Structure 1
Amino acid sequence: MTPAIKCLILLAIVALLFVTEMIPLAMTAIGASVACCALGLVPENQIFLGLADSTVVLFGGMFVVGAAMFYTGLAQKIGGGVVRMFGKGENSLMFGIMIIAALMSAVLSNTGTTACLIPVVMGICANAKISASRELMPLAFAAGLGGTITLIGTPPNILANVALKAAGMPELQFGFFEYAWIGIPITIAGIVYMMFIGKYLLPKDSGTLNLEIDEEILENETSTQKQIICGIIMVGVIGSMATGIVPLEIAAVVGAVIAVLTGCLTEKQAYNSIDWVTIFLFAGMIPVATAMNTSGAGKLIAEATVKMLGGDPSPYMVTAVLFGLAVVLTQFMSNTASKALLCPVGIALSAQMGASPKAVLMAILIASSCAFASPVGTPPNTLVLGPGGYKFMDYLKAGTGLVAVCLIVSIIVIPIVWPFFPVSA
């Protein structure tokens, strides 16, 4: 049996366990990483390498910084301000949160945006007396949507330009704001979907997590001085992330250390604030994503899809099929890996049809960012898993419709903005 087939079988088993939750999600992920080694898909020294991944470190740091905002009372104070602006209604708050997250994600990392806004949203929910599970998933979805608006909204966006340059077509590379032609429409459509349809698919309650947090915070005194210190820390972290002075994970860890040293929270509170389910879930799936790439499993799926299209496919069919393929892959692979895998395929298919590759590439880029139907498809989804008390099926229920909305908007808008057969000047 080839490594690619082994990897696909493993992926199917993992998907089944995720959906049914026969065993806890984190245990499935860690078990999958061990299985990757047992099947010879990754070396022994890489089984738990995901625990040292920069994104996992970012998660840990931002959990502590976020907790500091709660223990000082800053999150509740900011939340109160947002509630006064948008009201205490679940719908108006959802709209405000998604708009803020999308705008921030357009120019900041969508992961960093989600990490920074989680404590604020938790504070909003506590102030408005609504369940955080009703607002945190929309936050993550909006961050993912906003990341499609610019070249830097999500780092893998630039991979299309890399692929075009490698194919000898640097003149066709995408500009910084060119993504906005499709990014803004799908962001608007996504927000509308969540406001009118998606909200009915969200869980009604997130269990006891919020109550436990609130009770613990009520036992702590907060002071204005500590709120100011915590605010300065958060502004410093966001500023560092925005300017790129230091890597995201460094900014988060330094912020966490300063928060403890300045007494915004105790060392014990910092340890307790880290959601280990999120850490192990994301870290455990990194070897699986790596195996998908190195074993050739992802390539095998792509080749089978291309073969299925036949010898003379319609550009619209190619775009729709590659969109669907990218969406499926990105639920379990990193969007960086799925884009890197499919961009060259898209360029080759475009050349075969005599069409411009820009429309096909943009469909791949957008689809690879539509990892809404799984908690492991994108870091923002993983970040809200613990605080929102979500299950795997919650993402599948609310996220699948959002993916469908993005597909419909993309099929309509992309060929208009980037024609398959542009007329020469």
Structure 2
Amino acid sequence: MVTLAILAVMILFFIGGWLRADLVALIGLLFLVLTNQLTPVEAMAGFSNTVVLMIAGLFIVGAGLFHTGLAERLGAALIPYAKGSEVRLFFVLMVTVTVLSSLMSNTGTVALLIPVVLAMSRQMGTSPAKLLMPLAFFSSIGGTMTIIGTPPNLVAAEALRSAGGETLGFFSLLPIGLVAAAVGLLYFYVIGNRLLDVGDVPESVAPHPMMPPLSVYAFHVRKGHPLIGRELRETLWSRHGLTVLGERRKGLVHRLHAARADTVLHEGRLLVSGAEEDVHRIARQEGLRYEHVSPRDVYGKEAGVVIFTIPADSPLIGRCLKESRLRNRYGLNVLRVIRPNEEIAMTKLKDVRLEQGDMLVAQGEWGDLEKVGDETHLLLANERVADVANRAVSERHQLAAGIIMAGMVALLVFEWVDPTVAVWMAALAMVLTGAVRHMDVAYQSIQWSSLLLIAAMIPVGKALENAGVMAWLVTWISESFGRSGPIWVLIAVFGATMILSQIISNTATAVLFAPLALSLATALEVSPVPLVVAVAIAASLAFMTPFGSPTNAMVFGIGGYRFIDFVKVGLPLQVVTAVIAILTILITFPF
């Protein structure tokens, strides 16, 4: 009774939304330990669960796909099939996730497609919440189509094999999954999408601010040149409209050293920005050879370019750039000042009086850019500096990210190694190849609230077992429905499995109910296949709570959903698919 009371209070708080879902789950877990419903070891089991560890790794893999721009390319490849229609795009994406999740882990499929959905939403200017929850739901539906699609299917197949009866083939469950997918598509087309309260487009998926064109040139400073050893401030080039961006020193060509006033010049390439006539004049004056280079050369692992806006309370308003000390104090090189209806020449940058709303195109080291944008009131970054840095550094590793993703999918499909090992091999490869900028970015990409939610809910199944709830449920179904015939027993098993899978993991639910299904089939002297299949399908179709399946938990935080959103959208879908699934099971696997 204590366990059920705690669980009831947790569900009440989940629905009410008075506290964050992950906080409610952790508090509930703590009370289960304090009331001796769980031992500390049992309570902590969720945090070492392979599903939780796999999801953490998949978030890092997804970050690699997103930061390199590969997700955006995949999204761009799907968008033409939509032909400008959001409805058609929805159908294309849901069919894609359904097919993929039938052949590989539905958790892995969702992790791979989340960055694609975010990229597509950014390109189309819509909220990703319209797609993320359906993405999770259809991955669960797709998982019901094959034996390897979802763990409950494997549990069911193993239970039948160990019982010595019929076995399930790879596509034995395909008819059930196809019907459920068709019903799901019809549901979202008619009513499901209307029930989603998506709100505004989140800042994280708003279109990238357009970077204005930059003219970047490279001076070649050869060994023995008089400039070597001099400080940058001694050149006085800024008076002629030239801004020195940084050095790519000889021997360290892949590293960009951002320029400051006290930077000592070395042999190598000196990157500058300005009008070509000014660059040509100074190059001739200093005896330097120069060439036009791509603005991408300004970006590196250490430095890059960001657009800032001057807010209303900025102390920079009314000052000119040479008075702002942005270069000396913060290491920022202002390349352009963009003002509506006014063209500001490069030669006048240092003398122009700054106004509210001016946009400054600034270059510097990533750490300095972040400091100005996050820790001062001087400037407001048009896009999070960390996001710009991640994209700028990682996008050159797009091919590596694609190879890593393909390798991970192959490992998951052919099961050459444990799925968790395959995912973490891919996650670490993303970091080592630079597809994810560094480990701090990897940690930041993990949705910790989703992980804590599912890790805290996993031990609830053990608490219910310890309290005897599962044993009581077995007895109740046997006594209440056993005499009514196998069809009513199947409906009862399906309903009980479906309800419990909203609270504990679908795998744990299948493990608990598969033996029950075998026992009931023996008692009724009927084939165990329909009952065991009912357990597998009901455990997989969990739509009413964010912790009903790992895929629901993955999109919960990213989509900005509330617990009640899953109830509102998932409950009707749950009822409809349950009825259709039961009918299809009875037709496909008669007693």
Tell me the residue number matched to 1:210: 204
- Checking the alignment, whether the CA contact within 8 Å between 1:302 and 1:325 is kept in structure 2 is no
- How does the TM-score come out when normalised to structure 1? 0.91
Q: Are the structure 2 counterparts of residues 88 and 203 from structure 1 closer, same or farther at C-alpha, using a change threshold of 3 Å? A: farther
Higher relative contact order (CA 8 A, sep 6+): 1
Match of residue 283, structure 1, among 455, 477, 486: 455
Deviation at 1:157, TM superposition (A): 1.2
Structure ranking higher in strand proportion: 2
Which residue of the partner structure matches residue 27 of structure 1?
Answer: 23
Following the alignment from structure 2 to structure 1, what is the Cα–Cα distance between the partners of residues 78 and 151? 29
Cα–Cα, structure 1 residues 49 and 349, in superposed 2: closer, same or farther, change >3 Å? Answer: closer
- Which deviations, in whole Å up to 9, do the C-alpha atoms of 1:43-85 show, x marking residues without a partner? 2233333222211111221212211222222221221111122
CA displacement 1:211-231 (0-9 Å, x = unmatched): 489633346426763111222
Q: What CA distance in whole angstroms lies between the structure 2 residues aligned with 1:157 and 1:14?
A: 29
Change in CA separation of 1:351 and 1:390 when aligned onto 2, cut-off 3 Å: same
Residue identity in the other structure for 2:411: S
Aligned to 1:423: none
What percent identity do the matched residue pairs reach? 33
Confirm whether residue 269 of structure 1 aligns to residue 436 of structure 2.
Answer: no
CA distance in 2, matches of 1:124, 1:9: 43
SS at match of 2:392: coil
Aligned equivalent of 2:95, options 72, 81, 99: 99
Q: Hey, what does 2:590 align to over in structure 1?
A: 419
Matched, 1:228 2:405: no
* C-alpha spacing 1:163/1:230, structure 2 compared with 1 (3 Å): closer
Is the counterpart of residue 253 in structure 1 residue 424 in structure 2?
Answer: yes
- Deviation track 1:369-419 (CA, whole Å, cap 9, x = no partner) reads 111111101111111111111111111111111111222212322222222
* Alignment of structure 1 residues 25-424 onto 2, 5 Å: 25-167=21-163, 170-205=164-199, 208=202, 210-211=204-205, 215-216=383-384, 217-218=387-388, 220-221=391-392, 225-267=396-438, 268-309=440-481, 312-420=483-591
Decide whether aligned partners of structure 1 residues 228 and 14 sit closer, same or farther in structure 2, where only a CA change above 3 A counts: same
1:133/1:291 CA distance change after superposition, 3 Å: same
Aligned-partner Cα distance in 1 for 2:557–2:171: 34
Task: Find the aligned partners of 1:209 and 1:6 in 2 and give their Cα distance.
Answer: 43
CA distance in 2, matches of 1:87, 1:39: 58
CA contact (8 A) 2:101 2:140 kept: yes
Give the helix-richer structure, 1 or 2.
1
| 8 Å contact kept, 1:107–1:242 | yes
The Cα of 1:209 is off from its aligned counterpart by 5.6
Shift of 1:206: 6.5
Contact 2:152–2:540, Cα closer than 8 Å, also in 1:
no
Query: Which amino acid letter does the alignment assign opposite residue 468 of structure 2?
Result: G
Tell me if the contact between 2:494 and 2:538 (Cα under 8 Å) persists in the aligned partners.
Answer: yes
Unaligned residue ranges in structure 1 (runs of 5+): 421-425
Q: Please give the residue correspondences for 1:13-24 in structure 2 after superposition, counting only pairs within 5 Å.
A: 13-24=9-20
Distance 1:317 1:225, change over 3 A: same
User: Once superposed, which parts of structure 1, at least 4 consecutive aligned residues long, lie more than 4 Å away?
Assistant: 211-214
Query: Residues 461 and 504 of structure 2 are in contact (CA less than 8 Å); yes or no, is this contact kept in structure 1?
Result: yes
Q: Is the 8 A contact 1:58 1:249 kept in 2?
A: yes
Alpha-carbon distance between aligned partners in 2 of 1:130 and 1:229, rounded to the nearest angstrom: 29
Question: Contact (CA 8 Å) 1:201, 1:398: kept in 2 or not?
Answer: yes
Q: Any conservation in 1 of the 2:119–2:205 contact (CA below 8 Å)?
A: no
| TM-score of the two chains, using structure 2 as the length reference | 0.66
Describe the shift of the 1:259–1:166 C-alpha distance in structure 2 as closer, same or farther (beyond 3 A).
closer
What is the rounded CA distance, in whole Å, between the counterparts of 2:571 and 2:480 in structure 1? 24
In 2: Cα distance, 1:54 partner to 1:348 partner: 29
C-alpha displacement of 1:108 = 0.5
Confirm or deny: 8 A CA contact 1:149 1:182 kept in the other structure.
yes
Aligned counterparts of 2:474 and 2:10: Cα–Cα separation in 1: 20
Q: Structure 2 vs 1, CA of residues 306 and 210 (structure 1 numbering), >3 Å: closer, same or farther?
A: farther
Q: Is the 8 A contact 1:330 1:338 kept in 2?
A: yes
CA RMSD after TM alignment: 2.1
Task: Work out the CA distance in 2 between the residues paired with 1:348 and 1:53.
Answer: 29
Letter in 2 for 1:175: G
Which whole-Å deviations, capped at 9, do the CAs of 1:240-283 have from their partners, x for residues lacking one?
22221222222222222222222223233222211111111111
- Please state how far the C-alpha of 1:138 moved relative to its aligned partner: 1.0
Q: Which has the larger radius of gyration?
A: 2
Alpha carbons 1:112, 1:248 under 8 Å: kept: no
- The change in CA–CA distance for 1:203 and 1:298 in structure 2 (over 3 A counts) is farther
Task: Tell me, in whole angstroms, the C-alpha distance in 2 between the residues paired with 1:221 and 1:403.
Answer: 43
**2-structure distance, mates of 1:391, 1:365:** 27
Structure 1 pair 346/209, CA: closer, same or farther in 2 (3 Å)? farther
